[in-house]
Amino acid sequence: MMARRHGGASGRPYRVGIFGKVGAGNIGNDASMESVLGYLRAKHPDAVIGAMCTGPATLRHRYGIDATNMFWHNKYHPRSAAVSGILKVVGRGLDTFRTANWVRRHDAVIVPGAGVLEASLPMVPRGWPYALFLLSAYGKVFKTKVALVSVGAGVVNKPTTRRLLDGAARHAFYRSYRDEGAREAMGKRGLDVSGDRVYPDLAFALRPPAAVPVEERLVAVGVMAYYGTDDERRQADEIYAQYVAGMKGFVRWLVENDRKVLLLVGDTNGSDGTVVDEILADLRARFPDLDPAAVTAAGVDSYSDVMRVLMPANAVVAIRYHNVLCALKLSKPTISIGYSPKHDVIIGNMGLPEFAMAVNSLDIDELIKRFTELENRAPELRKTLVERNAAKAELLDEQFDRLSALLFGDGSQGRPS
């Protein structure tokens, strides 16, 4: 394949692509994409924006972006597992050429945040890792500036997955990480990170909704259909059962201690809804006369929805990373029930390190103890969070200015140092 020279300076509109697992139900990923989209439309209104992603229909209908499927086989919904397997095999070959054609038509491609260089949740090498590798490799071939912006990274134990993700990072034109732990992880994986910078998660750039009165007794509990990490697939059912049992116990304690509870999911594909249903069924069995208004569930379709429903909450306890991040962004006293080091890092960076707990060693008595402390220290914690949020917003403005200089330049600059 021949590398091609970019336009932009020649008079045609600059073409920018967004590449990622967005539009398919992961609210946190979509929040990062919305942040980048807002930056592009505000700072570079003449740029033509397209996307290759896992949920193109959402991007077309909600954001007005010309979007295409990252995986060819996702266009089909066969009832037979055998047919589905055949389509995936055929699709892998077609995706090699589809991705090349898409990349070569753009001057720059942005991968907006998310844990794109980690494996804290189950994945297969031929899926996302291979897709990201193709993107960066073709970016180098066609001189398309591929930018991994405020991304997450961590230890990846499976060799094939690690090689693909490392190759994708190595070929990228620009890399920044959402925390120092991610940067250090890539350094330990053999990547030269001396020229890479750390900036906050992109979701911190999104504006919160208008303020509403806080309900003093309202606690938001973010839940997730959690089955362990990519290395724990054999124990998945046991991990899920243990986590759900713990959250049932905690919600029962909240109800018994006169708190109102808002159950919050972290995606829109329905998977987290099963946990909500199990918690509600447990409450009905144990408290048949419970006022339905005492425990409610919030349906959300976007990060804006998450911010909106969290606004009246006095405190938050959550597991999904972007539910935790959203609560912190809104300066809500928050407990993180983490499944990855990124949880400890984000809550530590926001000044609440003592309120980080690990899902794989979750103890309900300890959770109740920390929650009680969280409520008692709420005014102090809110003040800290407001200060940290202002600092993160300034850093993201700095990164967007840097992206403008690097991605929208004349192409004469090499990879940033």
Residues 73-114: pLDDT tens digits? 566 555 566 656 666 666 677 889 999 999 999 999 999 999
State whether 258 and 124 are in the same domain.
Answer: no
3-state helix, strand, coil in the chain (%, to 5): 50, 15, 35
User: Is the domain of 347 the same as that of 227?
Assistant: yes
The average confidence (pLDDT) of the chain is 89
Tell me the pLDDT band of 3, cut-offs 50, 70 and 90. Answer: very low
Q: Which two tokens stand for residue 203?
A: 């979701």
At 282-332, the pLDDT tens digits run 999 999 999 999 999 988 888 889 999 999 999 999 999 889 999 999 999
CATH number of the CATH domain containing 318: 3.40.50.2000
Whether 105 and 142 have beta carbons less than 8 Å apart is answered as no
Residue 387 in any domain: the answer is no
Dihedral of CA 344/350/354/357: which sign? negative
Cα–Cα distance, 392 to 398 (Å, whole number): 10
Of 261, 243, 254, 203, give the one whose Cα is nearest residue 29.
203
Same domain, 159 and 291: no
For residues 167 and 119, which has the higher predicted lDDT (pLDDT)? 167
Q: Are residues 55 and 195 in the same domain?
A: yes
Residues sharing a CB contact under 8 Å with residue 401, sequence separation 6 or more, in sequence order: none
Q: What is the pLDDT of residues 43-53, one digit of tens each?
A: 999 999 999 99
Residues 81 and 137 placed together within one structural domain of the fold: yes
Q: Flag whether 4 is in a domain.
A: no
Residues 111 and 239 in one domain: no
Same domain, 200 and 226: no
Number of domains in the chain: 2
More confident residue, 125 or 225: 225
Domain match, 200 and 260 both: no
Statement to judge: residues 91 and 145 lie in one domain? yes
Whether 167 and 237 map to the same domain: the answer is: no
Amino acid letter, residue 289: D
Query: What one-character-per-residue DSSP string does 335-366 give?
Result: EEEESSHHHHHHHHHTT-GGGEEEGGG--HHH
Is 415 domain-assigned? Answer: no
State residue 231's pLDDT score. 77
Distance CA 359, CA 51 (A): 34
- Assess contact for 355 and 374: CB atoms under 8 A: yes
Q: pLDDT per residue over 254-289, tens digit each?
A: 999 999 999 998 676 677 889 999 999 999 999 999
Q: Do 50 and 197 fall into the same domain? A: yes
According to the model, what pLDDT value does residue 123 have? Answer: 74
Q: Residue 351 is part of which domain span? A: 218-329+334-376
pLDDT band at 22 (very low <50, low <70, confident <90, very high): very high
> Which pLDDT does position 4 carry in this prediction?
43
Task: Note whether 102 and 249 are same-domain residues.
Answer: no
User: How many CB atoms within 10 Å of residue 391?
Assistant: 11
Please write the tens of the pLDDT for every residue from 164-212.
999 999 999 999 999 999 999 999 999 999 999 999 999 999 988 888 9
Say if 224 falls within a structural domain: yes
Q: Would you state the pLDDT for residue 270?
A: 73
